Each structure stands twice: as structure tokens, then as C-alpha cells.
Structure 1
Amino acid sequence: MSSISDAQFSEAEKKEADTTSSVDEIELKSAPIESFISEKRAQNKQNSFVQIQESRLREFEAFLYWLDKIHVCSASDAQIVEFNDFLKNGDRYLTITEPHNGSEGTREINLSDVSRHQILTTLVDFYNYLQMDKGIISNNPAQQALRGFSDDEFDLSPPDRMRIEMDEMREFLDWLDTPFERAIILSLLKTGVRIGELLNEDLQCVHIGDGSGGTHPVYQHILDQYDVSLRSEVRDKPDSVYIYSAFNEETVIDGEERKQGNKRKDDDGSVIPIDDELKTAIIEYLMMRSPPLEHKRTKTRIPLFTKPTSSGGLERLTYSSIRSQFGDHNTDSSGALAEYDWYKQGADTEDNVFMHYFRHYFTDNMKHNHGVYRGWMPTGVIAYIRGDVDKSAVVGSERSESTARENTYSHSDWRNWALNVEAPYLNNIYKFGVYDETLPRQPPQEVQI
């Protein structure tokens, strides 16, 4: 579908476009997309990203012209919903080249869900620009389509992805051989964090409580081994873990180059509660591992999860080593997931369980009336724990970082972590019954409502 120039519209048609200003901005209405893209470039946005945004807007512009010769400033909610349906029903593929069995080859990936969300996000940003920055339209017509998209597809996971019952997941956890494997999988299942965020976790970010408001003596002993002090974010929150805010791979933190980036969207990071099963798994793992011999006591943060080194010590777990351990994307089909017959090399994506699957599992089962678990958390709480940009409220604008959290509570309410995060989490997170006896759980803090 080719782009349609705004020159196709007469000056009178441009004047009739939706406006909230007392002066018709004919010059802007003659080239609104060019104006929007020019501003992006002036903000030093990455050129490749700006080009993608322009391409998305041109496709939408052409669709409106094809639909009924509609100017982009006159688009309605219904027309953008129709555009979303057009994208949903169309065949949208991206051909990529990648190594396969040792040789280069191509394959097609269906981008119908992910690209649709990105296109709608660009439209929200574009119309926010026309409405809030320039004042030439009365409302943002893209909000309804994005909101509806998000309600149905919060996690953007394939609709035919295999579902695992709770008792099946427990059998898998029981089958795992080592405390290391159980701690990794339970961390992903209980928090929905990204793998990179898990690999970047340090001891100072985790506070294992004793059940009565203090630090568990075993964990305190481990902290003392390395002269580690808890971060302020978790120091007064027993049974919690702090997830760092976003940074790129190869970022140097306290003298250590991080090989895996963090994608968490919260500027200040997130504090996630830890229930009795997960804290038991973490302590069991830490008691079984040898101390990391290769660390600089005064400089390097001590990682939570480690792997052996060739010299006999331990170092931070890497993305490649965790994939090797669990058989995720491994050509020889070894590892825990492959051995359990949940991952088969070459099988369709929806038929395999990848490490990222556990993030989807958390999200799907914690949503109301979804998954195979009856407990649930408000969408905003899920978004906070996952570290997401808004996918249920109106987003897509760099000028408006409204999130699903603000759909659930007001902005100031999120400062009351005990009431609005800890309590709904601990009261609803699923239990697998992996341990006959768990460490005492830190009860939700008493708070004044």
C-alpha cells in the first residue's frame, strides 16, 4: 500500500479537519506527519527508529485515503479500530536471516501481534502530538484501539501456546535435580521477571526475612561473608527483591561490566515481594553453592546466581549458560527443559517451553479469569511487578508515561508498597507445594487505610 500525500486534500478539506484552536493551522495540517517526524529528529531520536515511525504513519495515512479519502487529522476512533482490524487480519511477516544447523538460512516470523501494538503505540504518540502539543485536534482517536488491544493481549504471547496446569508445573519443579534449578525456575514463575533482570540480581538486592520483621540469620551470615549491606529499597522490607532499572549490556557497575542488559521500564527499579516457597528455594540454593572466589570485595557486587569458572571459582551466571543449563534454543537438545520433553529443537514456538515462557505463565495466571489458577492480582500490580510500560492504559507517548499502575491506583498510592503491592501479591500468588516445610513467611505489613 503506497503512501498518499496530504497534497491530495484541498485547503477547504484541511480546514474541516478536527480542530480545537481558534486558528486553522493549515500549514501544519498540510504535512502533520512531516512535522511530527521533524520534531523527533530534532529531539535526537535514533534515526532508524524515526524512520520506522514514519513508515507506520504512512501506512496508516494510505489506509485512511484508501478507506474514504480521510485526512489524518480527521480520523475517528472507529476508523483506527478498523485499521487495527485490517492489521490483525492481514498477513504481516518479517523475513530474517539466521544461522540454522551451522548454515545461514531465512525464515519468516509473523509479526501480527507485536507489530500491531507498536503501530498503535506510534499512532497514540502522533495524535498526542497533534492534540496536546499543537492543539489542532480535540481528542486522541488512537486510544480506544490501543486500550482494546491491551485488554485482550496484555502479554502478547501466542494464543495457541501450550497451557500447563498447576499440578503439571509442580511435577516439573519436583523433577528438577538441583536447588540451583529450582531457585531459577521458581524465581521466574513467582515474579515474571525477565531473564536478564534475574541474571543481574545481587545479594544486596534480596532481603530474606525471618518471619518477624528481621533478616533471616542464615541470609545475614551470607551477607556478612562478603561485607554486603542491603540496598535501601529492601532494607526495611523483609522478603522482597529489588530489580534494577534499565541499563544496556556492557554497562559498568561498581567496576563490573554487565554482559546482560536490564529492560525494566521503571526509572527507579521495582521492589517485588518474595513468598515462602521462593525464599526457601533461594536459601536452599545459597547454602549449597560455594562462595564466589573471584570477586573484588570492595568493588564488585556479589551476584545472586553464579556459574563455575575454569579456575574453580564462581562468577555471575550468563544468558548463554542458563540456556545451556535448561536446553532453551540448544542445538543438541540437552538441558532440563529438553530432558523433560518440554523443549524440542526445531519444533514450532507454541509447542515448546522456553525460559521466557515462565514470564508468560506468571502473567496469564495472575490475570483475572485467565490461565489455570483462580487467584488474581489487579492489572496494575502485574504491570508493576513485571516492570512493564503501560499495556492497559493509554500509552505510546514520551510526553505521557501513564501506566497500568495509575489505572489501578493514583500515582501517590504506589508509594504505599505494603498495601498496594505486597498485600495483593502475598495473598494471591500461587503455591506449588514443592517443600514439605517452608521458611516462615513475612506477613503483609499492617498499614493504615
Structure 2
Amino acid sequence: MATEPGVEDGTTIDDPIAYFLEEQRYHGKSERTIDAYERVLRQFEAFVRAEGATPADATRRECMAWVHSLRGRRESSTIASYASYVHRFYEYMTRVEAFDGNPMALVMEEMGESIDTNPTRREISIPEMRNFVDEITHPLERAVVVTLLKTGVRVGELCNLDLRDLHVDTDAFGLDQEWAPRVALESRPQSLYVDSEPACGDVYNGEKRYASNKRKRETVIPVDQEVTRVLLEWLAIRPDTVSPAEPLFVDTGGDWGHRLEPSDVRYIVERHAREQGWYRTGGGASENVTPHYFRHFFTTHLRDRTGDRGVVKYLRGDVASDIIDTYTHDWGGQVRTVYESNIYSIC
């Protein structure tokens, strides 16, 4: 491997990992993905340095020793995922001629672990989830968890929500606060708008975003009385926001008034899941409850209750344009009726 890595123009790279991460950011990777890469790559870097090498000159031996060090501490699928991150790092750095070769290539071929792309997840009943939610008392954290559980939005989509994306009846709950919902919601009360446009690094509604929405098209999601109540309880104490975009969810801690980021949401969920015994360091997707688990929970329970996969796919925002057009045109009929008749009570 090259001991002083550089790129095609001869520029020296002092920190190959930082260089790789910045390149991935330029390529549009989400902050969540970049955070995952950085966490694993820095752990790998610390290991190979303890072995007397660096990422730039590590060999197959150091790479294999690192993989072996993970066994017994991580699930097989987690090890495979971590190894794939390192493999992609070396593959990219080799392609830009910063490194001479990829020592992880052969290691990946020899590994017995495999990535489980469709893991069997922990089964949690609605009463169990209701007890979980009951233990969450902070208005912000409660609103975040309930919104994830009852709308199926992704964590990045939740963080990108602005106040204008919510249209609910504040008078019914005695909240002395008004705002103008976006035009797309004017004729659709009790609803939440999830746009497809926000992307990491782009300015959207006057604010630079640090998470991407992954929907192919915008989605209007019905909001029931439970979601309305927890959101208004949160808005009643929500701090003044730093951003003119008026984020729906903002930090109440060290970054007071700033938009919540995906890492903040993951921390909230992990902390409460640990207290419930639903999260363990080193546990994989089959064991740990994360924000993405809530999307799985929403999909599974609503699909089982409705028997209407089309509506569920529409709400998740991952359907083809012809199907989404059908439900968009009949939003006030089929979508809201199916949702309100079948959505579970969670708090």
C-alpha cells in the first residue's frame, strides 16, 4: 500500500478516511450513511495502528485480524456490514489512485459472514409498544416516537419536517398558536406533508439540510387524534427556532432551538429502547429497536389490519408513480378512510 497517499493530481492526503468521507458527501450520501462509515473506519484505523500499520499501508493480514477481533462481540451480519464499509473505502481509494490496492478484497471472499438484507426482527405487540410509549414523558421525545410509530416516516424525513408541513386543529386542544400550512395541505386538514425534495447539503425552505428524504414523490399522511395531541403538547413548549424555516422538531439541550438531526433521534430511541431491554450494544437489526424499526412496526401492523398493500405503500412513500397518483387523487376518500379505520392506538 502507499505510505503517502495522493490522488491523480499528486495532492497528498493527510487523512485518507476524512478524504473518503468528504468524497461520499459530495456524491450525495446521507449524513446517516457517512456517520456509519466514519464510526467503522475510525475503529478499523485504531486497530491497524495498534498493529503497527496505517490504513494506507495495511495488508490482508491486518484486515483479517481486525475481522477476527469482531467475532464474539458482534453478530455475523454486523461483521459483514462493517467489513463491506472498509472494502468500499479501499475500493474507492484505489480507484482514485490514492492507494495501490485493496487488501480487503480477498478478505471479503474468504469471510464466512453474510449480510442479512431481510433480518427477522424482534416481535413487539401493540400493547407492549403502548407500554413503551407510556414510559416516555418528555414532550419532544414522546412526539418524535409517536410520530415515527404512527406515520412510518424515515428518521431523515422526520427531521426535515417544518411547521408548515403540519395541518391540525389547534382550537380543539386549546393551543394559542397559529401557523399557515403549505398550500398542498389547505384542503387536507389533520394531515402531515412529507416532501421528496430535501437532500443532504441542499438549501430547502431557506435552510441547509443535513438529511435526505428518500421518497420518489411527496406524500400526504393522515394525522389522527393521538398524533395531534402529542404534537400540540410538544408545540406548546417548543423553543423559538433558530432557523426561519421553523423546524417542527428542535433540540431542547445543547443545540437549543436548532433542528433535530438523525443522530439526535437515534439517541432518543436508543436510550429508551435500552431502558426497555430492546437494545444491546453489538446487537443487530434482528434484536435492536431503532427509528427504522418503528417504520417496520408501522408497515407490519397497518398492512395486517388493512389488507391493503397499496395504501400502506403510498403512506410509506415507496411506490411507483402510477400507484401514488391513484391514491393522491383519492386521498380524502380511500387513504384517510383506510388509515383512520385501521391505525392502532399507541398512547
Q: TM-score range by the shorter chain?
A: 0.5 to 0.7
Give how far 1:347 is off. 1.9
Partner of 2:74: none
TM-score (norm. length: structure 2): 0.65
Give per-residue Cα distances to partners, 1:261-320, cap 9 Å, x unaligned. 111111xx111000111111101111133322x24xxxx210110003658x41100112
Please tell me whether the aligned partners of residues 377 and 424 of structure 1 are also in contact (alpha carbons under 8 angstroms). no
Partner of 1:185: 145
Give how far 1:414 is off. 3.5
Partner of 2:59: none
2:220 corresponds to 1:252? no
Which one of 239, 246, 257 corresponds to residue 302 of structure 1?
A: 246
Partner of 2:317: 387
- How many Å separate the matches in 1 of 2:312 and 2:285? 24
Give how far 1:208 is off. 1.0
Q: Which has the higher contact order (CA 8 A, sep 6+)?
A: 2
AA matched with 1:169: M
CA 1:254–1:170: 2 relative to 1, 3 Å: closer
AA matched with 1:274: V
Specify which structure has the higher proportion of helix: 2
CA 1:386–1:315: 2 relative to 1, 3 Å: same
Match runs of 1:341-360 below 5 Å: 341-360=277-296
Q: Report SS of the residue matched to 1:316.
A: coil
Partner of 1:378: 308
Give how far 1:325 is off. 2.5
Please tell me whether the aligned partners of residues 192 and 222 of structure 2 are also in contact (alpha carbons under 8 angstroms). yes
Which aligned runs of 4 or more in structure 1 are off by greater than 6 angstroms?
Answer: none
Give per-residue Cα distances to partners, 1:214-242, cap 9 Å, x unaligned. x65755x433xxxx421011122211000
CA 1:157–1:177: 2 relative to 1, 3 Å: farther
AA matched with 1:342: W
Partner of 1:57: none
2:243 corresponds to 1:283? no
Give per-residue Cα distances to partners, 1:77-103, cap 9 Å, x unaligned. xxxxxxxxxxxxxxxxxxx96444984
- How many Å separate the matches in 1 of 2:138 and 2:300? 27
Partner of 2:80: 108
CA 1:290–1:413: 2 relative to 1, 3 Å: closer
Please tell me whether the aligned partners of residues 144 and 265 of structure 2 are also in contact (alpha carbons under 8 angstroms). no
Q: Report SS of the residue matched to 1:288.
A: coil
Match runs of 1:425-436 below 5 Å: 425-432=339-346, 434=347
CA 1:195–1:310: 2 relative to 1, 3 Å: closer
2:347 corresponds to 1:417? no
CA 1:357–1:103: 2 relative to 1, 3 Å: farther
Give how far 1:386 is off. 0.5
AA matched with 2:248: L
AA matched with 1:244: D
Please tell me whether the aligned partners of residues 156 and 213 of structure 2 are also in contact (alpha carbons under 8 angstroms). yes
TM-score (norm. length: structure 1): 0.51
AA matched with 1:201: L
AA matched with 1:176: I
Partner of 1:22: none
CA 1:414–1:248: 2 relative to 1, 3 Å: closer
- How many Å separate the matches in 2 of 1:170 and 1:415? 33
Give how far 1:376 is off. 1.7
- How many Å separate the matches in 1 of 2:121 and 2:182? 38
AA matched with 1:238: P
Please tell me whether the aligned partners of residues 414 and 420 of structure 1 are also in contact (alpha carbons under 8 angstroms). no
- How many Å separate the matches in 1 of 2:310 and 2:41? 37
AA matched with 2:277: D
- How many Å separate the matches in 2 of 1:324 and 1:346? 15
Instruction: Mark the runs of 5 or more structure 1 residues left unpaired by the alignment.
Output: 1-47, 49-95, 111-155, 328-334, 369-374, 391-400, 406-410, 435-449
CA 1:169–1:101: 2 relative to 1, 3 Å: farther
2:194 corresponds to 1:243? yes
Partner of 1:263: 214
Give how far 1:177 is off. 2.6
Please tell me whether the aligned partners of residues 259 and 318 of structure 1 are also in contact (alpha carbons under 8 angstroms). yes
Match runs of 1:98-247 below 5 Å: 98-100=41-43, 103=46, 105-106=66-67, 107-109=79-81, 157-158=118-119, 160-209=120-169, 216=172, 218=174, 221-223=176-178, 228-247=179-198
- How many Å separate the matches in 2 of 1:420 and 1:288? 35
Please tell me whether the aligned partners of residues 274 and 280 of structure 2 are also in contact (alpha carbons under 8 angstroms). yes
CA 1:254–1:412: 2 relative to 1, 3 Å: closer
2:244 corresponds to 1:314? no
- How many Å separate the matches in 1 of 2:327 and 2:316? 18
Partner of 1:53: none
AA matched with 1:286: L
RMSD over aligned Cα atoms: 2.7
Please tell me whether the aligned partners of residues 122 and 286 of structure 2 are also in contact (alpha carbons under 8 angstroms). yes
Q: Report SS of the residue matched to 1:356.
A: helix
- How many Å separate the matches in 1 of 2:136 and 2:327? 40
Q: Report SS of the residue matched to 2:314.
A: helix
Give how far 1:254 is off. 3.3
CA 1:183–1:431: 2 relative to 1, 3 Å: same
- How many Å separate the matches in 2 of 1:413 and 1:326? 31
- How many Å separate the matches in 2 of 1:307 and 1:192? 22
Percent identity of the aligned residues?
32
- How many Å separate the matches in 2 of 1:161 and 1:431? 21
AA matched with 1:252: V
